[in-house]
Amino acid sequence: MSAFVSTNYPQAVQQLHTILDWIRFAASEFDGNQVYFGHGTDNAWDEATLLVTASIHMPFNLTDTQQQCRLIEGERVLIAQRIEQRITQRIPVAYIINQAQFCGLPFYVDERVLVPRSPLAEIIMNRVSPWMDGKEPNRILDLCCGSGCIGIASLKAFPGAQLDLADLSMDALDVADINIQNYALYEQVAAIHSDLFENLQGPYDLILSNPPYVDLEDLSDMPDEYHHEPAMGLGSGNDGLDITRKILANALDYLAPEGVLVVEVGNSWIHLEAAFPEVPFHWVEFENGGDGVFVFTCEQLQQHIHHFRV
Ligand SMILES: C[S@@+](CC[C@H](N)C(=O)[O-])C[C@H]1O[C@@H](n2cnc3c(N)ncnc32)[C@H](O)[C@@H]1O
């Protein structure tokens, strides 16, 4: 590993001048120090571009001319400090710049919430087709909302809906509130402190949920970057399904007759199939990558509910 902090840092501030210089340097340092990518980007160049451009309040996609612009010393010092933070503390870039993109929209994030990265983005951008069948939901629930990214993004697809954001973590709800304010959605969105459905009132036409679902084995293998995320956003019992089992047992009571339930379980889809072999889960196929998301219409859930309520 290179010793970035002790040797290269002061040298870099003196010798690197353009935006492109800094992107190149950051990318080399990220690769050289083997940082893990998985919180918004999947390679060193994009991660470096994100860190550098966000630090100087510029868009991610710069023109060649913009990339040749020189930075003043204060900007260079800030970027160098942030590269150092990323490498030595393994902090995901989203937390350093307090921003993450989801469905092409910016969301405020910090270490009180997970960094948004759910494949539900693709389902939302496709207006939950074909399951919503072109219908406009009146009421949407984002269960286990974290930053509120899934629910708030769903309002871009269904602008006439009312949205409830629910989470058990007051810290997460404080972050969700920042995003409600940032999008001026206070009249359309309620942030509700709730242990799953406990404080909620159905019926909902659409329930979207990315609950904690990492199983114990995956939890123990996670790179350092994930340890900056709130633990209650990740783990959910031995097979990762403690929360999902409760959602499956109770969602029916909160779904409208034409309602749709969409839940992400990631790698734990294998455990779900094994736990309920008689249930034909419909797993969404993604064009942009990702897996482990199932969908039930209210009618389908009704059909199989006896398996989930034992
Ligand atoms: C995987 S994170 C997802 C956050 C957000 N939906 C996203 O996609 O970025 C799961 C969230 O579930 C919340 N959570 C955990 N247990 C919960 C429970 N029993 N009831 C409600 N929310 C819960 C956590 O606080 C965390 O914010």
φ, ψ for residue 236, nearest 5 deg: -155, 60
Cβ proximity of 232 and 212 under 8 Å: yes
The answer to whether residue 212 scores a pLDDT higher than 70 is yes
φ, ψ for residue 189, nearest 5 deg: -130, 135
Nearest CA to ligand 1 atom 14: 144
In single-letter form, the type of residue at position 170 comes to M
Nearest ligand 1 atom to alpha carbon 243: 19
Pick the CATH number of 113-308 from 3.30.450.40, 1.10.10.1200, 3.30.2130.10, 3.40.50.150: 3.40.50.150
Q: Residue ranges per domain, the chain?
A: 4-97, 113-308
Close Cβ partners of 293 (under 8 Å, ≥ 6 residues apart): 119, 120, 123, 262, 263, 264, 265, 283, 284, 286
Of the pLDDT bands very low, low, confident and very high (cuts 50, 70, 90), residue 69 is very high
**What single-letter DSSP state applies at residue 253?**
G
> What span, in angstroms and rounded, lies between the C-alpha atoms of 25 and 47?
12
Nearest CA to ligand 1 atom 19: 195
Of the pLDDT bands very low, low, confident and very high (cuts 50, 70, 90), residue 139 is very high
> What span, in angstroms and rounded, lies between the C-alpha atoms of 256 and 151?
18
Q: What is the pLDDT of residue 3?
A: 46
> What span, in angstroms and rounded, lies between the C-alpha atoms of 284 and 205?
19
The model's pTM is 0.95
Cβ proximity of 91 and 76 under 8 Å: no
The answer to whether residue 56 scores a pLDDT higher than 50 is yes
Question: What is the whole-number distance in angstroms between the Cα of residue 3 and the centre of ligand 1?
Answer: 37
Question: What is the whole-number distance in angstroms between the Cα of residue 51 and the centre of ligand 1?
Answer: 26
Question: What is the whole-number distance in angstroms between the Cα of residue 7 and the centre of ligand 1?
Answer: 41
Helices 44-55 + 19-32 axis angle, to 10:
130
Percent of the chain with pLDDT over 70: 98
Q: What is the pLDDT of residue 167?
A: 98
How far is C-alpha 246 from the geometric centre of its chain's CA atoms?
21
Of the pLDDT bands very low, low, confident and very high (cuts 50, 70, 90), residue 7 is low
φ, ψ for residue 125, nearest 5 deg: -65, -25
The answer to whether residue 292 scores a pLDDT higher than 80 is yes
Q: What is the mean pLDDT of residues 92-108?
A: 97
Cβ proximity of 201 and 253 under 8 Å: no
> What span, in angstroms and rounded, lies between the C-alpha atoms of 81 and 282?
46
Q: What is the pLDDT of residue 10?
A: 83
Omega cis (within 30) before 230: no
> What span, in angstroms and rounded, lies between the C-alpha atoms of 39 and 117?
7
Nearest ligand 1 atom to alpha carbon 213: 1
Question: What is the whole-number distance in angstroms between the Cα of residue 241 and the centre of ligand 1?
Answer: 13
**Which residue blocks in the chain are alpha helix, DSSP H?**
9-15, 19-32, 44-55, 64-67, 73-88, 93-97, 120-125, 149-157, 170-182, 216-220, 242-250, 269-275, 298-308
Q: What is the mean pLDDT of residues 282-299?
A: 94
The closest of 163, 156, 162, 129 to 260, measured between CA atoms, is 129
| Lowest mean per-residue pLDDT among 6-10, 172-176, 191-195, 299-303 | 6-10
Q: What is the mean pLDDT of residues 99-115?
A: 97
Of the pLDDT bands very low, low, confident and very high (cuts 50, 70, 90), residue 164 is very high
